[in-house]
Chains A and B, each alone.
Chain A
Amino acid sequence: MMKDMSAMTDPRQPPAPTRAPVFELIEVEKVFQIRRPGAGLRRDTVGLRALDGVRLRVEQGASLALVGESGSGKSTLLRVLLGLDAPTGGRALYHGRPIREVRAEGPRFARDVAMVYQDARGSLDPRMTIGALIAEPLRHFGIVPAGQVAGRVAELLARVGLPADAAQRYPAGLSGGQVRRVAIARALASEPSVLVADEAVSGLDVSTQAQLLTLLRGLQRDMGLTLVFITHDLGVASYLCEEIAIMYLGRIVETGPTDAVLAAPAHPYAAALRAAAPRFFEPLPEPLPGEIPSPLDLPPGCRFSGRCPMVQPDCQTRDPQLGRHGEGRAVACLHPLGAA
């Protein structure tokens, strides 16, 4: 597998036309129908726009951190990448072909693209032992001959830092963090080329986290594993991922190289996130002013305008689109920070 980061970070060099990115989202929209507020017993529904015009390219070998407001659509975006949810608008492509189509063709996609779910416990069958859970993808995809399954399971357990006797236990017998490690072992079992992970290391102590992050970073840097990694921890994002995309209410509001974006965020929401990251012995940061708007009732103009410290009159009428903002970066703001 080859790394091809140049196309992502250097805008002067157009991507080779022969090689489609691993994932490409073009104006992707996902609307959920939910009960209308105050509808009582009537069955009125209303559309909740969980994703609203998302554009994203993930090149082979890239590592992308997806961060943002809780409820902004990160998990929904991942479900679209995995073909579990069909977008209600726009196109979602895997190597240039519709994801849902590729997924329907057979087990190849499921083997190549592994997933660690946010609800790790809910994603594991409680009636299966940990050993059986990890053996399942090994058998299903024929990764190793039957005689070697037990050995490989033991290897995977050790890799994610679980004791060997965990194989005989059931998910209910493991702590929250241990269950998360099982989910990672299971995802790595099929030897995927893409790992899509939703809060895979949250809820782990920092030393266990360090073991898993160095493992994942090694796989990404040395084996060319493509990573899409949802995290709330900006330190994790900056250690593991070369690029970052920041979401707010169904949209990507800023993307670019992680270090550059975190050193000088251009979008005021990105700046607020950066400022809220925990810091030793500092007072807890003041919350952003204003109410988080409802995805059912977005304000006109910029959806961050009700809480934005930089808001200008035109922000309430014009809806900013993601546009280029310096080297490899893009921002959806009419008055980005640092633009003077």
Chain B
Amino acid sequence: MKMDAIAADPLLAVTDLTVYRGQAKILDRVSLSLARGETLALVGESGAGKSTIATALMRLLDGAEVEGQADLSGAGDLLALPEAQMVRLRGRRMSMIFQDAGAALNPAYTVGRQLISVLRRTMGLDRAAARARAVDLFTQVGINDAEARLSAFPHQLSGGMQQRVMVAIALAGNPDLLLADEPTSALDVTIQAQIVRLILSLTRDRGASCIFVLHDLALASQACDRIVVLYAGQVVESGPAHDVLTRNRHPYTRQLQGCVLEIGRKDLLAPEGNVPSHDQMPEGCRFATRCPRALPHCATEPPPLAAADPARTGPLDHAFACWNPE
């Protein structure tokens, strides 16, 4: 796909998304763009705010104050739309696969009933048609015995099967923006590959876009066009997958890459230190407390996200935020 053509017509443009929980700034001016038909990987420190971004876009965030803008093409600013309109968008134009499948499914209802009710609501199907479609979707996500499993309660399914049920529910309404929060962390690698292929064929191949939250950088390189790296609520590096993985400039991205465990590797060196708590977060670069390349002013002056190549400064191009890049 031609990058400049899509840059002109993004499906989603998030600008300066900031989320507070009490005093804590959970997200700090996060900006990202998503082109039509594009797949984006959101990677980064556990607790960095990846799920918060996805949940904020769905407008399902509780107990938080949200600032900024998130324009979904044809719908307007997701952060400002009236709730009634969001209700119509959810499931139809955008849907989310939640990280904790076990917690996202209702333990009191069978998984079939949960899927069928989404199908009836988003697709306007009658009961029989919804049931037939449900069997279809279960089979597509690799659940054998689809008929029988429709009447299972969530606790009767293995963790991986619950995850696949969530995938089926999220894809039920053919959304054009899918937010998939670690959809395959609980699956074995053969089914993971199958599910990722399935998600891509049901989204990218029909021009829909997808944001994958994931931790496996190798999988990100296989499945995603671009990567956004997040640390402690800030975007530290973003760009085409190849640039971010092979020509990364931010010390945190470099650190992540150094921790990838390929089969047979035994010489892992764990990085030092932890993310500071929110009341001790540096004003400037939030990685400054752990960064091997920190300069004296890093902790006080926030580094701006700047293009890696001054000739390519579009929102989809390679950029990083660091005063002393690798």
Which residues of A come within 8 Å of B, CB atoms? 32, 34-38, 67-71, 75, 118-119, 121-122, 158, 161-166, 173-178, 180-181, 199, 202-211, 213-215, 232-236, 238-239, 259, 262-263, 272-274, 276-285, 287-288, 291-294, 296-297
Contact of A206 with B215 in the complex, beta carbons under 8 Å: yes
* Segment touching A, from B38-46, B67-75, B293-301, B311-319: B38-46
CA–CA, A236 and B191, complex, Å: 18
At the interface, yes or no: B324 with Cβ under 8 Å from chain A? no
CA–CA, A174 and B242, complex, Å: 32
Q: Which of B51, B151, B191, B219 touches A70 (beta carbons < 8 Å)?
A: B191
Contact of A203 with B145 in the complex, beta carbons under 8 Å: no
Contact of A165 with B186 in the complex, beta carbons under 8 Å: no
- Residues in A with CB closer than 8 Å to B202 are none
CA–CA, A262 and B217, complex, Å: 21
Interface pairs A-B: 8 shortest CB-CB = A177-B46, A70-B160, A37-B148, A235-B261, A163-B277, A278-B218, A206-B259, A278-B219
Contact of B259 with A209 in the complex, beta carbons under 8 Å: yes
Contact of A234 with B100 in the complex, beta carbons under 8 Å: no
Contact of B46 with A204 in the complex, beta carbons under 8 Å: yes
B152's closest neighbor in chain A, by CB?
Answer: A34
CA–CA, A207 and B47, complex, Å: 12
CA–CA, A121 and B104, complex, Å: 12
- Residues in A with CB closer than 8 Å to B43 are 205
- Residues in B with CB closer than 8 Å to A297 are 145
Contact of B192 with A232 in the complex, beta carbons under 8 Å: yes
- Residues in A with CB closer than 8 Å to B223 are 284
B158's closest neighbor in chain A, by CB?
Answer: A71
- Residues in B with CB closer than 8 Å to A36 are 148
- Residues in B with CB closer than 8 Å to A278 are 189, 192-193, 216, 218-219, 221-222
Contact of A203 with B197 in the complex, beta carbons under 8 Å: no
Given contacts A210-B259, A238-B265, A278-B189, are A284 and B197 in contact (CB under 8 A)?
yes
A230's closest neighbor in chain B, by CB?
Answer: B159
Given contacts A34-B152, A122-B102, A287-B194, are A262 and B263 in contact (CB under 8 A)?
yes
Interface size on B, residues (CB 8 A): 71
At the interface, yes or no: B187 with Cβ under 8 Å from chain A? yes
Contact of B188 with A38 in the complex, beta carbons under 8 Å: no
Contact of A294 with B279 in the complex, beta carbons under 8 Å: no
Additional 17 contacts, C-beta under 8 A, given A165-B278, A208-B45, A277-B189: A38-B148, A68-B188, A70-B191, A118-B186, A161-B274, A203-B215, A209-B261, A210-B261, A211-B271, A235-B263, A236-B261, A238-B265, A273-B189, A278-B189, A280-B221, A280-B245, A292-B144
At the interface, yes or no: B96 with Cβ under 8 Å from chain A? no
- Residues in A with CB closer than 8 Å to B242 are 281
- Residues in B with CB closer than 8 Å to A238 are 261, 263-266
10 A-B pairs (CB sep. < 8 Å): A37-B145, A119-B159, A165-B279, A203-B46, A206-B217, A210-B271, A262-B264, A273-B189, A280-B217, A280-B245
- Residues in B with CB closer than 8 Å to A32 are 156
Contact of A207 with B148 in the complex, beta carbons under 8 Å: no
- Residues in A with CB closer than 8 Å to B100 are 119, 121, 176
At the interface, yes or no: B5 with Cβ under 8 Å from chain A? no
Contact of A176 with B159 in the complex, beta carbons under 8 Å: no
At the interface, yes or no: B190 with Cβ under 8 Å from chain A? yes
A67's closest neighbor in chain B, by CB?
Answer: B188
- Residues in B with CB closer than 8 Å to A272 are 190
At the interface, yes or no: B128 with Cβ under 8 Å from chain A? no
Given contacts A203-B182, A239-B266, are A282 and B222 in contact (CB under 8 A)?
yes
